[in-house]
Structure formats: structure tokens, C-alpha cells
Amino acid sequence: MSRVLDLFDLLARRRQGMTLSELSQALDVPKSTFVSSLRALVADGFLIMEGGLYQLGPGAYRLAGTILSSWSLPDLVRHYVRELASTTGESVGFAIADWDIGQAIYTDAVNSPQPVHYAMRVGLRAPLYASAAGRVLLAHAPANQRQAYFARAHLRPLTPATRTSPEQVEESLDEIRRLGYCASFGEMLPDTAAIAVPVHDANDAVLGALIVAAPIERLRNSFPALLAHTVRVGRQASGLATDDDLKGP
């Protein structure tokens, strides 16, 4: 089954079609054992074979349409928010950007069961420039949207560690794009730290940010494990998980 999904994904990216040899090489499957599977998919309408090229057929597009019609971002994200909260024992949320007010808004949240924890709730807002989730959203926004944000944003210090100039924030955004995550220690609240990662859609656009937050010393002491779990779950939520991701850290 996973081989068929890999085939559909490959052909969706190569709409002009691919030959048996090209598919065999790309998917690392011998032609002799692959051809019968391709014939069956053609017979069922999931593939079309014309001029020696295989392309997605109406059955594949009908299946994709059915999946999309039942797709719900809140339902999808909720599963991964709860998984990360259960795995880490810390508070976890999912945030999207409200560009009109320049803030990240939490659309899902689970609080840590530990007596001392970061209190997270649905509807909580955080400045884009000062929060881990906000800077992930800024980092992956179009350049013109970031420029418009900085042109009207008032970057006031919330703690001694808050970045308060566009240049400082932009420098951190470059690092976020390079590393794939944002780690923030005491920048929005003095005793709190957080790790945030982007969640992408099928076109690699960012849907929102997945974030784990905790008291600063606890997160600092557990940083490698918390980072690994957050990155792994973020990749799973984006549909980018590899076999190593599924095994966990």
C-alpha cells in the first residue's frame, strides 16, 4: 500500500507522466515485479498509460477529491497537539497568524498535568515578534507581508530578552528558516520558554505553528528531547514523516 501511495505522490509531481523505467528507478522497484501492479491500477482507473507514459487517472483524482472534502484542519491538528502533549508532559498548542492585529492566536491547546506549567488555552494571543510560534509564522510568511508587519508593528520590550528591532527579529527569522524551528527563552514571559515548528500543507505553505512551552529551566534541561519530539510531530502533521521520524527519538 505504501508503494502505491509513493507512486501517486510521484506522479502528482510529474504531471507529464513517467515511463516504467523512470518509475522503477525513482521508487527503487524492479520493473519485472512492478509492471503487474501498474497494469492493475490502469485497469481500475487509478492510472492512465498512453504513449509509454503513466499518469494519474480519474480514479486517483476522485479519491483525492473525496479525501479533501472530508479534510478538517482543526481535527487533523488536534490529534498531533494531543500526541505531543502526551509524549512531552508539557503544555502544547497550535497557533495561526492574525495579520490584522499582528498576533499569533492559539486555535488548539492542551495544558501540562504538572503542577507548575505554562498555562495555554484556545484564544490566547501572543505578539508575532516576541513569541516562538509568532516568529515561526513570520519566518515563513511572504517577504511583502513581513515588511508590512514591521512597518506598523510596535516592538516593545516584554522582558529584558525581547528583541525590539526589525533587524534583530529578521536575524532570528533567518535562523528559524535554516534550523526549521524557533526556540525562545524568556522573550515573552521572563520565566517561560518555548519551542515552535511550522506545520505545512501539501503545497509546502505553512498552515500554522506547533508549540511546546514550559518553565524556562525545565525546558532548558530537557531541550534536546523536547526539540526532537516537537520536530518529529511537526513533520508528521505536515505529512513529511520518514521511517526514522515514526520511530521517534
Residues 140-192: tens digit of each pLDDT:
999 999 999 999 999 999 999 999 999 999 999 999 999 999 999 999 999 99
Q: Write down the H helix ranges in 100-201.
A: 132-139, 143-152, 166-179
pLDDT for position 45: 92
Same domain flag for 9 and 86: no
The Cα 95–Cα 206 span in angstroms is: 11
Look up residue 24 and give its three cell numbers.
522503477
pLDDT tens profile 105-141: 999 999 999 999 999 999 999 999 999 999 999 999 9
- The CATH number that applies at residue 88 is 3.30.450.40
The phi-psi region of residue 20 (left if phi > 0; otherwise alpha if psi is between -120 and 50; otherwise beta) is alpha
**For residue 56, how many C-alpha atoms fall within 13 Å in the half-sphere facing its CB?**
19
Q: Which residue, of 17, 47, 69, is where some domain finishes?
A: 69
Position 249 pLDDT exceeds 60: no
- The CATH number that applies at residue 16 is 1.10.10.10
Same domain flag for 127 and 28: no
DSSP conformation class of 23: H
pLDDT for position 151: 93
pLDDT for position 4: 85
How many domains are contained in the chain?
2
Whole-model pTM: value is: 0.75
Average pLDDT over residues 78-86: 94
CB 176: neighbour CB atoms within 10 A? 22
Same domain flag for 128 and 98: yes
The Cα 198–Cα 94 span in angstroms is: 10
Q: Is there a contact between 164 and 155 (Cβ–Cβ < 8 Å)?
A: yes
pLDDT for position 113: 95
> Which of 43, 48, 51, 35 lies closest to 8, judged by CA?
48
